[in-house]
Amino acid sequence: MTGAEAGTGTGTGRNSITGGTQGTVVQAGHIEHLVVQQAPPPADEVTVAPPWGLRGAPLRGRAELLARLLAASGTHVLYGLGGVGKTSLALEVADALARDGAPVWWVAAQDAGRLSGGLRAIARRLGLGEDELAAGQTADLLWERLAALPGPWLLVLDNADDLALLDGPGALAAGTGLVRAPSAAGLVLVTTRDGDPASWGTGPVLHPLGALPGPDGARVLTDRAGADAGAAPDAAALSRRLGGLPLALDSAGRYLASVAERPAFLRTPGEPATYAAYLAALGAGDVTVDGDGTLARIWAMSLRLLRDRGHTHADALLRLLAGFADAPVPLRVFAPGRVDIPPGELWACLQALDRLGLASLSGDGEPVVSLHPLVRDAHRTGRERLSAALARETGEPEELGPLWPLLEPHLLDGLAPGTPAEVWEAAVLAVRSLAARGLLSGAGDAARTVRAGTARDLTADHPVARLARLQDGRTLTALGEAGRALDVLTPLAGECAGALGAEDPFTLEVRHERAIALQMAGDYDASRAENAAVLRARLRLLGPDHWKSLHTRHNLAMDLALLGRTREALAELEAVLDGEGRTLGREHYDTLTTRENRAIMLRVLGDTDAALAELTTVAEARHRLLGPDHPDTLTARFNVATLLPADRARVEMAAVLDARVRVLGPDHPVTRATAEAVARTLPE
């Protein structure tokens, strides 16, 4: 930015530059101060006083780290994303030590002129003469004087983002640069974006400064906007959307404060005045937290730093990451062949983004990278397609592989008009994954979205459009809405039979799901007839041991059970279990279902000991494999409870009822049946 006058800022305060300055504004805001690249000032005009005027509202969320720094000595580095509050924390440390009488010096370290001028000014204050400074040993002489100081002191080097400047006459990592290990009484505090351990060496202690968690971010908003802007949960929700970034929280809070202080008749219609309204407007694009471009300039500087260090793919990778949903991205999507960045360079670039706080690498089992939500907003130019390709290679969602929960949000993100068929197909896989994990409400919402989207973007006879309708019907059945499921599946079965043939594999899949809906609706004769027809076709086409044949045979056995033919049902289930045990394994999802229903038949026939033992084993396996709140785990717990003594049964059924209300909702047929069962266990 050049010219006679320029300004950046948020809220009621505004920084300005006047005169004939030239250079680039690289950072501004109330959390971290304005920095201007320009010609270094004369030595006698350099200030080393802390910028107390930048202190504002109370510091939030840093109490533990603040206490550690106040008790520390040596060199400590605060690093993280621009706007995360590094300068604010350093000012709190400076204020506390200054109030205790310790000398405090503050050096702006964003350019060579200010850094050198500041250190020379401190050297003069410590008694070094011009002759000594002119000898070219300023760094050595300064650190000798600092080491000789008797009491506590603090030196802050703020905004030291270009670490090459800190090498000075030696090397920062070797301890011979402009930042060195102080005496036992001294504390050196450096704020920077760059937390690369290799650059700092082994001496300094590195402290990553991350985003503020929801409650602390909510308090920052309340500090700025006041209590009238809304309740704490609304402030916490807005804080999460802003990624807990103090500079963004400050901007949003000051915006709301500025709206609140105006008379109502001077407000624009629809202008957000509460946290909830601001969050909605932010999502709709009606407001921006970066109206003056401060954040964009901060992140642009970080990217320039990466480019200067040889990370030529940083911009492209950041834009690619920004195309994903606001959720962790599995690194497998960047496998060789999917992106044009060599694996070694990609990994180095991800690490560099992590060190500068633009992204975060994590993951115990499945490595992921997370992009700060505001960084994502600023760099998003389009929707990614890599997750769809990975989904097609990941296996069946019902196998509950660890990648599916990570892929779901990306597969369901940005499904706008014109989405390609292959992306819609991957979205269907995400719906299946949600359902398999027992997240039925989310699966239902996603299934409706995908079905509507495919109906809009694809022809009615497109295979993916039919697949979306099948999954919608399947999900409705799982939600206990058998009538609505039949409204979807019955016409689809007729269309597929006419277009593909009655025994086409996809037609058989639709008819199989329709039979399940008929069974849930209580039409056992119709369900039995449909299951029998599907089974005959599958036995002929797939053979008796294929899992789909076994699945349909299991459902036919349950028709027999529901029609009161328990012994026939038990014999069929035992035959199915033999096949599933051989082909799928004893703890496969389908096998556990068959084992459970076989145990129920044993209970009906009076063999309660064998039934209880098997049901207990199934419940334990489901708890281990699916988790405590999965609908199938709750079903297994309920079935065990039916065989417990009355007092224990009542307690266990009540616990299952509470969980089913939470997981399935109070109106799900299974929840209502559980409530009736609990009522029957109550004493007269």
In this structure, what token pair is assigned to residue 224? 């700025």
Is 246 part of a structural domain of the chain? Answer: yes
CA torsion 205→209→213→218, rounded to 10°?
130
Do 255 and 324 lie in one domain? The reply is no
The CA distance from 615 to 597, in Å, is: 9
The alpha helices in 226-356, defined as continuous H runs, are 232-241, 246-260, 275-284, 294-308, 314-322, 343-355
- Give the per-residue pLDDT at 12: 34
In this structure, what token pair is assigned to residue 341? 């960045």
Do 35 and 147 lie in one domain? The reply is yes
- Picking from 473, 458, 393, the residue whose alpha carbon sits closest to that of residue 426 is 393
Give the domain CATH number at 130.
3.40.50.300
Do 36 and 162 lie in one domain? The reply is yes
HEC letters along 514-570? HHHHHHHHCCHHHHHHHHHHHHHHHHHHHCCCCHHHHHHHHHHHHHHHHCCCHHHHH
In this structure, what token pair is assigned to residue 125? 């204050």
Longest dimension (CA), the chain: 107
- Give the per-residue pLDDT at 457: 97
In this structure, what token pair is assigned to residue 392? 């097609």
Do 168 and 44 lie in one domain? The reply is yes
Do 116 and 62 lie in one domain? The reply is yes
Which amino acid is residue 40, in one-letter code? P
Is 378 part of a structural domain of the chain? Answer: yes
Do 124 and 87 lie in one domain? The reply is yes
Look at residues 321, 348, 382 and tell me which one is the last residue of a structural domain. 382
Q: Count Cβ atoms below 10 Å from residue 383 Cβ, excluding itself.
A: 18
Do 175 and 76 lie in one domain? The reply is yes
Do 247 and 186 lie in one domain? The reply is no
Burial of 42 (0-12, 13-18, 19+ CB in 10 A): exposed
Burial of 684 (0-12, 13-18, 19+ CB in 10 A): exposed
Q: List beta partners, residue 371.
A: 359
Is 459 part of a structural domain of the chain? Answer: no
Do 52 and 186 lie in one domain? The reply is yes
Q: Which residues of the chain have pLDDT under 70?
A: 1-44, 684
Q: What percent of the residues of the chain are helix, what percent strand, and what percent coil, each to the nearest 5?
A: 60, 10, 35
- Give the per-residue pLDDT at 684: 60
- Picking from 187, 199, 209, the residue whose alpha carbon sits closest to that of residue 161 is 199
Do 225 and 321 lie in one domain? The reply is no
Is 131 part of a structural domain of the chain? Answer: yes
- Give the per-residue pLDDT at 31: 34
Q: pTM here?
A: 0.78
In this structure, what token pair is assigned to residue 39? 């010609």
Do 65 and 115 lie in one domain? The reply is yes
Do 173 and 108 lie in one domain? The reply is yes
Is 556 part of a structural domain of the chain? Answer: no
- Picking from 130, 113, 111, 106, the residue whose alpha carbon sits closest to that of residue 41 is 113
Look at residues 382, 413, 440 and tell me which one is the last residue of a structural domain. 382
Question: How many structural domains are present in the chain?
Answer: 3
- Give the per-residue pLDDT at 206: 95
Is 8 part of a structural domain of the chain? Answer: no
Q: What is the DSSP string of 462-509?
A: -HHHHHHHHHHHHHHHHTT-HHHHHHHHHHHHHHHHHHH-TTSHHHHH
Q: List beta partners, residue 6.
A: 17
Placement of tokens 């309920």 in the chain: 638
Look at residues 181, 208, 235 and tell me which one is the last residue of a structural domain. 208
Is 357 part of a structural domain of the chain? Answer: yes
Phi, psi (5° rounding) for residue 221?
-60, -45
Residues 6+ apart with CB under 8 A from 211: 81, 84, 217, 243, 244, 245, 372
Give the domain CATH number at 378.
1.10.10.10
Structural domain for 237, as ranges: 214-284
Q: List beta partners, residue 336.
A: 339
- Give the per-residue pLDDT at 582: 94
Is 551 part of a structural domain of the chain? Answer: no
